[in-house]
């Protein structure tokens, strides 16, 4: 079916770009690399490199051309590949490290800023490849610039693999230590999931799912500034009517993503996948999910009422976006990272927002505890317990949840981590120091909830 957009819609989009920070956050090309498996890491990595360069060689150029032609900023061009643990199962840790380096070289060659898929799906147990990939994660993330990693430790259908949760606490700590010279930045490229989406275009959690086609184009839109501007126009409107305003605004933002995605798909000769309509903030002033919530009437994010306001925002965004595209996917809602959202940072500094409140808000947002700096001496058991709590929220509520924590080496509460760019900066936040070690060290698997038996 042809995709049409009117001149009026184009002019409205231009206004949103110029004054409200509207952008396409990412064009992400997913690439199947299951046919790249060879006898060792070097041969497999070289095959993966060749396929990425072949498929994505024109990705950045095409994105730049669309940006100039339509006047819509396209901030990132990215690649996701089939989970490497699946592709390289049977190879060892050193082979996995070699493959990670080839992925980084391929990403640099084609000019993308990140490549996702150094990943494992271990929600019900480990293959040998899963274990070797997880063992390689700290070394790959500390020795590459663009590779991103994710591990899915739980699903609503399978329950929570607590052996994997335990392992990821140690993996995050080791990754932080190996990138201590840059505030543990390796951890900013590592996500631990429950119910991971296989068509997510956003980093660090993107990978090309097993059920995906040979290659596809997925779009991640943005637009917190556009929604903020719409909400600010109606300071006394009741919440039901305000939700309708947000829906209409989300529709317009998603239509922009649909346009860019279909044009990119046609020019690259790759099927159009999905639009992820998540509100993705940046450190820029006026591009904040926290500011939207505060414009609804909260003095600060973290005040009582924050979870309800976020739930309304998330639902309205989904409803509006779903009407603008037949192919909404990925995560789709509202992100609440700390380091990437200036309003969230301000709320932390004001004492209004802490990790416990953020955890409560993750019950109704797109993902979970995202880009949060914690003291470097936080134990691996505490990190694992935070992962377990988030996985439980996702498992019980049939939603994607995730943890992206940075235990900043040598930093304590009140210190800052500095990453720059979209990763931003963040104050180190306090965590509960009472030990969960006895619970975490039990290991095993938390069974799936009763409502998983819904066939």
Flag the least confident range among 67-71, 74-78, 259-263, 284-288: 284-288
Q: Which two tokens stand for residue 11?
A: 């002019």
> For residues 449 and 93, which has the higher predicted lDDT (pLDDT)?
93
The pLDDT score that the predictor gives to residue 201 is 93
Q: What is the mean pLDDT of residues 433-437?
A: 96
User: Is pLDDT of 282 > 90?
Assistant: no
Residues 291, 273: Cα–Cα separation, whole Å = 31
Residues 359, 395 share a domain: yes
* DSSP code for 284: S
The pLDDT score that the predictor gives to residue 5 is 55
1: in domain: no
Residues 181, 226 share a domain: no
User: Is pLDDT of 330 > 80?
Assistant: yes
Flag the least confident range among 104-108, 211-215, 220-224: 220-224
Q: Which two tokens stand for residue 374?
A: 């914690």
Q: What is the mean pLDDT of residues 381-396?
A: 97
Quote the number of domains for the chain. Answer: 2
Flag the least confident range among 12-16, 31-35, 97-101, 355-359: 12-16
Residues 328, 340: Cα–Cα separation, whole Å = 24
With a pLDDT cut of 90, the percent of the chain lying above it is 75
CB distance 81 to 30 below 8 Å: yes
Most confident of 176-180, 336-340, 418-422: 176-180
Q: What is the mean pLDDT of residues 399-420?
A: 93
Q: Which of 58, 24, 366, 331 is nearest to 198 (CA)?
A: 331
Residues 289, 150 share a domain: no
Residues 267, 186 share a domain: no
Structure confidence by residue, pLDDT tens digits, 304-327: 999 999 999 999 999 998 888 889
User: Is pLDDT of 120 > 60?
Assistant: yes
Residues 224, 272 share a domain: yes
Structure confidence by residue, pLDDT tens digits, 135-171: 999 999 999 999 999 999 999 999 999 999 999 999 9
The pLDDT score that the predictor gives to residue 72 is 84
Residues 245, 160 share a domain: no
User: Is pLDDT of 281 > 70?
Assistant: yes
User: Is pLDDT of 82 > 80?
Assistant: yes
Cα(first)–Cα(last) distance of the chain, in Å? 33
The pLDDT score that the predictor gives to residue 1 is 45
User: Is pLDDT of 335 > 70?
Assistant: yes
- Domain end among 146, 179, 194: 194
Residues 441, 339 share a domain: yes
The pLDDT score that the predictor gives to residue 61 is 95
213: in domain: no
Helix ranges, 233-379 (H): 239-268, 289-295, 306-322, 342-349, 355-361
Phi, psi torsion values for 47, nearest 5 degrees:
-65, -40
User: Is pLDDT of 393 > 80?
Assistant: yes
The pLDDT score that the predictor gives to residue 116 is 97
Flag the least confident range among 49-53, 117-121, 334-338, 380-384: 334-338
User: Is pLDDT of 109 > 90?
Assistant: yes
Residues 275, 189 share a domain: no
Q: pLDDT confidence of 8, banded at 50, 70, 90?
A: low
Q: Can you say whether the dihedral through the CA atoms of 367, 370, 374, 377 is positive or negative?
A: positive
> For residues 386 and 341, which has the higher predicted lDDT (pLDDT)?
386
**How far, in whole angstroms, is CA 61 from its chain's centroid?**
24
Residues 185, 150 share a domain: yes
What mean pLDDT value characterizes the chain?
A: 91
pTM for the whole structure: 0.92
208: in domain: no
Question: In this structure, what CATH number is given to the domain that contains residue 429?
Answer: 3.20.70.20
81: in domain: yes
Residues 107, 178 share a domain: yes
User: Is pLDDT of 209 > 80?
Assistant: yes
Residues 224, 171 share a domain: no
356: in domain: yes
Q: What is the mean pLDDT of residues 40-60?
A: 96
278: in domain: yes
The pLDDT score that the predictor gives to residue 280 is 83
The pLDDT score that the predictor gives to residue 19 is 46
Residues 158, 452: Cα–Cα separation, whole Å = 8
CB distance 411 to 428 below 8 Å: yes
> For residues 199 and 422, which has the higher predicted lDDT (pLDDT)?
199
CB distance 146 to 115 below 8 Å: yes
Residues 257, 132 share a domain: no
Q: Which of 294, 328, 299 is nearest to 313 (CA)?
A: 294
CB distance 220 to 10 below 8 Å: no
214: in domain: no
Domain of 76?
28-194
Please tell me the number of Cα atoms within 13 Å of 176 on its side-chain side.
26
306: in domain: yes
The pLDDT score that the predictor gives to residue 225 is 85
The pLDDT score that the predictor gives to residue 420 is 79
């Amino acid at each position: 079916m042809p995709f049409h957009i009117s001149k009026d819609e184009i002019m409205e989009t231009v206004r949103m770009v110029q004054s409200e920070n509207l952008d396409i956050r990412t064009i992400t090309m997913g690439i199947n690399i299951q046919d790249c498996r060879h006898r060792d890491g070097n041969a497999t990595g070289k095959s993966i490199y060749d396929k990425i360069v072949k498929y994505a060689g024109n990705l950045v150029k095409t994105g730049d051309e669309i940006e100039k032609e339509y006047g819509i900023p396209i901030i990132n061009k990215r690649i996701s590949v089939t989970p490497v643990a699946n592709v390289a199962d049977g190879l060892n840790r050193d082979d996995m490290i070699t493959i990670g380096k080839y992925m980084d070289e391929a990403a640099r060659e084609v000019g993308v800023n990140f490549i996702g898929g150094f990943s494992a799906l271990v929600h019900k147990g480990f293959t040998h490849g899963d274990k070797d990939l997880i063992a390689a994660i700290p070394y790959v993330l500390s020795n590459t610039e663009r590779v991103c990693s994710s591990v899915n430790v739980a699903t609503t259908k399978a329950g929570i693999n607590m052996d994997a949760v335990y392992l990821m606490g140690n993996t995050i700590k080791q990754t932080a230590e190996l990138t201590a010279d840059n505030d543990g930045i390796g951890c900013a490229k590592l996500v631990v999931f429950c119910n991971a989406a296989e068509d997510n275009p956003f980093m660090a959690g993107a990978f090309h799912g097993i059920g995906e086609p040979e290659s596809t184009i997925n779009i991640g839109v943005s637009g917190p500034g556009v929604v903020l501007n719409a909400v600010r126009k109606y300071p006394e409107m009741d919440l039901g009517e305000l939700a309708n305003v947000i829906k209409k605004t989300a529709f317009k933002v998603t239509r922009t993503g649909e346009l860019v995605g279909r044009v990119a798909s046609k020019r690259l000769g790759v099927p159009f996948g999905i639009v992820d309509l998540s509100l993705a903030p940046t450190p820029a002033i006026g591009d904040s999910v926290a500011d939207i919530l505060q414009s609804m009437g909260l003095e600060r994010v973290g005040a009582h009422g924050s979870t309800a306001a976020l739930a309304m925002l998330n639902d309205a965004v989904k409803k509006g976006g779903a009407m603008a595209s037949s192919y909404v996917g990925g995560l789709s809602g509202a992100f609440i990272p700390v380091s990437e959202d200036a309003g969230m940072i301000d709320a932390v500094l004001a004492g209004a927002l802490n990790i416990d409140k953020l955890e409560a808000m993750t019950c109704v947002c797109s993902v979970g505890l995202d880009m949060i700096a914690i003291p470097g001496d936080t134990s691996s058991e505490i990190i694992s317990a935070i992962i377990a709590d988030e996985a439980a929220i996702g498992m019980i509520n049939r939603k994607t949840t995730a943890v992206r924590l940075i235990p900043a080496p040598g930093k304590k509460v009140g210190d800052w981590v500095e990453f720059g760019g979209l990763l931003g900066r963040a104050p180190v936040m306090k965590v509960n120091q009472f030990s969960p070690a006895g619970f975490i060290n039990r290991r095993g698997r938390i069974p799936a909830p009763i409502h998983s038996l819904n066939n």
